[in-house]
Amino acid sequence: MNGRSGALERLLLTEPDDYVRLHLGLRELRELYLDLVRAFVPPNPQFERERIIASLPQPREVCFVFGLLSEGENEAALLLELVDAERRADPEAPVDHLEDEAWYYLRTSIDTAWQLDDDPPSALAALVYLHIVLAERLEELRASSRPSLAAEGDAERRPLLEALRASFRAASRAAQGGPSKAAR
């Protein structure tokens, strides 16, 4: 994990409200998407590159088109954005089904054999996982002139996502003063 992703994880672990954490994390994830677009698109004196990049309405979609997000990663990120939008519109809105779908898309994009999972999903673990993976891709882009395409089925990453889920579950229990429903 690089310093930027580690700082995000530490920040999110200190905030007691799961949906405030999700909102903060998505804001940082958007900044990472913009950095990926900046690293991918070469400078061009013919247009105002920075203004155009900064005003992108959906930089996640641009990253997906560039091949910097796998299909499962993109679906998970989209669903996390929907959870955030639903919660901002109505703090009591039911979003468990969206979190379950985001978790499913992400974990099966990592390991196709990971179809069954008895532990509850964690939207926050999924978000930090996406940040870690995309920060690594950003470093690869900056280090070479060739982009690193998102790979489906990277089963070696499964322990990372499982560890993140456990970490956020423990933080949620601590914030609530004891054993409780897992962080989502």
What type of residue sits at position 140? E
Q: DSSP letter at 94?
A: -
Q: What is the DSSP string of 42-62?
A: PP-TTS-HHHHHHT-S-HHHH
Asked if residue 184 is part of any domain, the answer here is: no
Give tens-digit pLDDT for 72-117: 999 999 999 999 999 999 999 999 999 999 999 998 888 877 877 7
Within a 10 A sphere around the Cβ of 178, how many other Cβ atoms?
A: 6
Asked if residue 83 is part of any domain, the answer here is: yes
Asked if residue 22 is part of any domain, the answer here is: yes
**Total domain count for the chain?**
1
pTM: 0.79
For position 24, what pLDDT does the model report? 93
Average of per-residue pLDDT across 139-161: 73
The two three-digit tokens of residue 184, written as one number: 């989502």
Asked if residue 180 is part of any domain, the answer here is: no
Q: How far apart are CA 168 and CA 171, in angstroms?
A: 5
Domain of 57 in residue numbering reads as 3-175
Asked if residue 51 is part of any domain, the answer here is: yes
For position 182, what pLDDT does the model report? 43
For position 124, what pLDDT does the model report? 92
- Which among 118, 106, 116, 96 is positioned nearest to 184, based on CA atoms? 96
Asked whether the predicted pLDDT for residue 147 surpasses 60, the reply is no
Give tens-digit pLDDT for 103-113: 999 988 888 77
Q: How far apart are CA 159 and CA 147, in angstroms?
A: 25
Give tens-digit pLDDT for 23-54: 999 999 999 999 999 998 887 777 788 888 88
What distance lies between CA 49 and its chain's CA centroid?
Answer: 25
Asked if residue 183 is part of any domain, the answer here is: no
Work out the widest C-alpha separation in the chain, in whole angstroms.
Answer: 58
| Residue whose tokens read 């091949």 | 67
- Which among 130, 155, 36 is positioned nearest to 75, based on CA atoms? 130
For position 152, what pLDDT does the model report? 58
Look at 157 and 141; give whichever has higher pLDDT.
141
